[in-house]
């Protein structure tokens, strides 16, 4: 951790010194509490953009190779949830046949995540810088920025930013930049679903191979990177890999945006250092306002951890792996001790079943059966051996779809059985508990979170 938490409004507008002391915020440096940073503000906070050549001459290609090496040395992992090494993906796209396309993925279909829309809304130029640099690295001449259509403010913010750059070009060359608003359902941001949608089809996953890095939009090699990943690329290109590694852990370097929801004084989007403790994040959000029952990490494809682990948990991949969890796309949902974890899990499982785009049999049938069994357990109407039935259904559902949607839902459900085994046993014996009747806590669309004002702050 780097010093005391500070709120956005206290942050002075100043450039982060290259190779200086580890300092947060990085991505959220200089952001306003409302509205986007202008291009001028962006450049005064982060400094000029590193030169982009993007040509085909030997000097240009050498510069692209240098960028790629620097990103590799930084150890940057993708921030869309899969934590895949960014440099590996860049190299695969660069090695593909034909002119590449870059997609900045801000689809953010996860209802519990607000970080991508926050980033696009508050600091769109940082994402655009990173996307332009990635385009240079892979030799792309076209760049498509995808924002979620339900996040109107972020769509407008990117639109204005693209206009600003057209009026005041800041790099020698820039690829063509297009903005696309994409549907808000859960799997719309899945890579092949985006390729499908951007190619004129529905936003539904496609059967792979070929994977997008081989043949994506218009059968061209397509780099699809989360918008936060690209924002980190923009900073790595400016300050270098060593600077990037001054925060975080050796295997998961750098800072990360996290969406914190639940019973805390100030829920919202926070920038943390990888490896920061969950307690420090909760403290930065003004502390818990109720007793806590557990936390769901990584969103609705993530994993529950029970209350006994909350105090000791560190927010890093390697630490969370020991709990069968990950940060995913940076989602931390806290559940109060007034909520019933069985009822909450059943409710989210039903929602996840509804988010199946109904292409693959095991996903359609498996998620529906899982949700129904969970609902029966919560209501006390399940047959004996219902938890074994869930484990059986889980094995029939996971890894049998065209995308990872069923796997994510199964992950959530199995982790609930593990973290809340006593509650499940209690429901199986006695049916619904007193807490089942409490109003639902985990945010799902049609509740306030999808329209909640996103906030930026720092841990």
- 294 sits near another protein (criterion: CB under 8 A): no
Least distance between another protein and beta carbon 325 (Å): 23
Least distance between another protein and beta carbon 368 (Å): 10
- 280 sits near another protein (criterion: CB under 8 A): no
- CB closer to another protein, 112 vs 301: 301
- CB closer to another protein, 313 vs 360: 360
**In whole angstroms, how far apart are CA 451 and each of 76, 111, 112?**
31, 10, 11
- 402 sits near another protein (criterion: CB under 8 A): yes
Could you tell me whether strands 255-261 and 268-273 are parallel, antiparallel, or unpaired per DSSP bridges? antiparallel
Q: Which stretch binds another protein (CB under 8 A): 4-12, 83-91, 267-275, 290-298?
A: 83-91
| Nearest in space to 19 (alpha carbons), one of 233, 229, 236, 228 | 236
Q: Which stretch binds another protein (CB under 8 A): 27-35, 45-53, 203-211, 288-296?
A: 203-211
Select from 324, 365, 375, 386 the one that contacts another protein (CB under 8 A): 365
Interatomic CA distance for residues 416 and 409, integer angstroms: 11
Give me the 54-73 binding string for another protein, x by CB under 8 A, dash otherwise: --------------------
DSSP state for residue 264 in the 8-state scheme: B
- 293 sits near another protein (criterion: CB under 8 A): no
Q: Which stretch binds another protein (CB under 8 A): 60-68, 110-118, 153-161, 205-213?
A: 205-213
> Rg for the chain (alpha carbons), in Å?
22
- 382 membership: H or E segment, kind and range: none
Q: Which stretch binds another protein (CB under 8 A): 14-22, 31-39, 50-58, 200-208?
A: 200-208
Is 290 in contact with 263 (CB distance < 8 Å)?
yes
- 325 sits near another protein (criterion: CB under 8 A): no
Is 172 in contact with 50 (CB distance < 8 Å)?
no
Interatomic CA distance for residues 298 and 359, integer angstroms: 25
- CB closer to another protein, 211 vs 433: 211
| Nearest in space to 15 (alpha carbons), one of 49, 57, 51 | 49
Q: What part of residues 106-165 is at the interface with another protein (CB under 8 A)?
A: none
DSSP state for residue 85 in the 8-state scheme: B
Residue identified by tokens 């940073």 is 37
Interatomic CA distance for residues 347 and 354, integer angstroms: 11
- 396 sits near another protein (criterion: CB under 8 A): yes
- 89 sits near another protein (criterion: CB under 8 A): yes
Q: What part of residues 206-235 is at the interface with another protein (CB under 8 A)?
A: 206-207, 209, 211, 213
- 433 sits near another protein (criterion: CB under 8 A): no
Is 158 in contact with 145 (CB distance < 8 Å)?
yes
DSSP letter string, 206-255:
---SSPTTTS-GGGS-EEEEEHHHHHHHHHHHHH-HHHHTTSB-SSSBSE
- 88 sits near another protein (criterion: CB under 8 A): yes
CA angle (117 as vertex; 163, 123 as ends), nearest 5:
50
Select from 362, 380, 431, 445 the one that contacts another protein (CB under 8 A): 362
- 372 sits near another protein (criterion: CB under 8 A): no
Note if the bond before 324 is cis, omega within 30 degrees.
no
- 359 sits near another protein (criterion: CB under 8 A): yes
- 98 sits near another protein (criterion: CB under 8 A): no
- 361 sits near another protein (criterion: CB under 8 A): yes
Residues that bind another protein (CB under 8 A): 88-89, 91-92, 205-207, 209, 211, 213, 359-363, 365-366, 396, 400-402
């Amino acid at each position: 951790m780097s010093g005391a938490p500070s709120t956005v409004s206290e942050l002075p507008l100043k450039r982060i010194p290259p190779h200086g002391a580890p300092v947060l915020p990085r991505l959220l440096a200089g952001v306003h509490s409302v509205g986007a940073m202008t291009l001028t503000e962006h450049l005064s906070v982060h400094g000029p953009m590193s030169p982009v050549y993007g040509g085909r001459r030997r000097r240009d290609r050498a510069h692209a190779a240098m960028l790629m090496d620097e990103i590799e040395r930084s150890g940057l992992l993708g921030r869309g949830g899969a934590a895949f090494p960014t440099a590996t993906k860049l190299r695969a796209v660069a090695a593909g046949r034909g002119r590449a396309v870059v997609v900045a993925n801000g689809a953010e279909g996860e209802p519990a995540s607000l970080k991508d829309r926050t980033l696009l809304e508050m600091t769109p130029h940082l994402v655009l810088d990173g996307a332009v640099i990635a385009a240079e690295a892979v030799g792309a001449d076209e760049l498509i920025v995808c924002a979620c259509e339900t996040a109107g403010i972020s769509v407008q913010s990117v639109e204005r930013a693209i206009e600003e750059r057209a009026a005041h070009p800041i790099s020698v060359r820039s690829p063509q930049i297009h903005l696309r608003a994409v549907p808000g359902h859960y799997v719309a941001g899945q890579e092949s679903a985006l390729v499908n949608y951007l190619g004129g089809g529905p936003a539904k996953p496609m059967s792979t191979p070929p994977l997008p890095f081989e043949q994506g939009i218009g059968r061209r090699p397509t780099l699809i990177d989360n918008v936060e990943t690209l924002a980190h690329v923009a900073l790595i290109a400016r300050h270098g890999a060593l600077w990037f590694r001054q925060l975080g852990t050796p295997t998961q370097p750098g800072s990360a945006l996290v969406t914190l929801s639940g019973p805390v004084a100030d829920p919202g989007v926070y920038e943390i250092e990888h490896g920061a403790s969950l307690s420090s994040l909760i403290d930065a959000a003004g502390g818990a306002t109720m007793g806590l029952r557990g936390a769901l990490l990584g969103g609705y494809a993530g994993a529950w951890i029970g209350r006994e682990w909350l105090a000791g948990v560190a927010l890093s991949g390697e630490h969370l792996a020991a709990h069968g969890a990950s940060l995913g796309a940076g989602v931390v949902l806290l559940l109060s001790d007034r909520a019933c974890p069985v009822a909450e899990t059943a409710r989210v499982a039903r929602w996840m079943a509804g988010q199946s785009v109904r292409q693959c049999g095991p996903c359609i049938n498996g998620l529906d059966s899982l949700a129904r069994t969970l609902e029966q357990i919560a209501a006390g109407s399940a047959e004996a051996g219902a938890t074994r039935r869930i484990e059986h259904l889980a094995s029939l559902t996971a890894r049998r779809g065209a995308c990872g949607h069923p796997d994510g839902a199964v992950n959530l459900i199995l982790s609930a059985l593990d973290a809340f085994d006593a509650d499940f046993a209690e429901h199986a014996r006695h049916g619904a508990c007193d807490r089942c009747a409490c109003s639902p806590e985990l945010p799902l669309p049609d509740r306030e979170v999808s329209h909640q004002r996103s906030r930026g702050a720092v841990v």
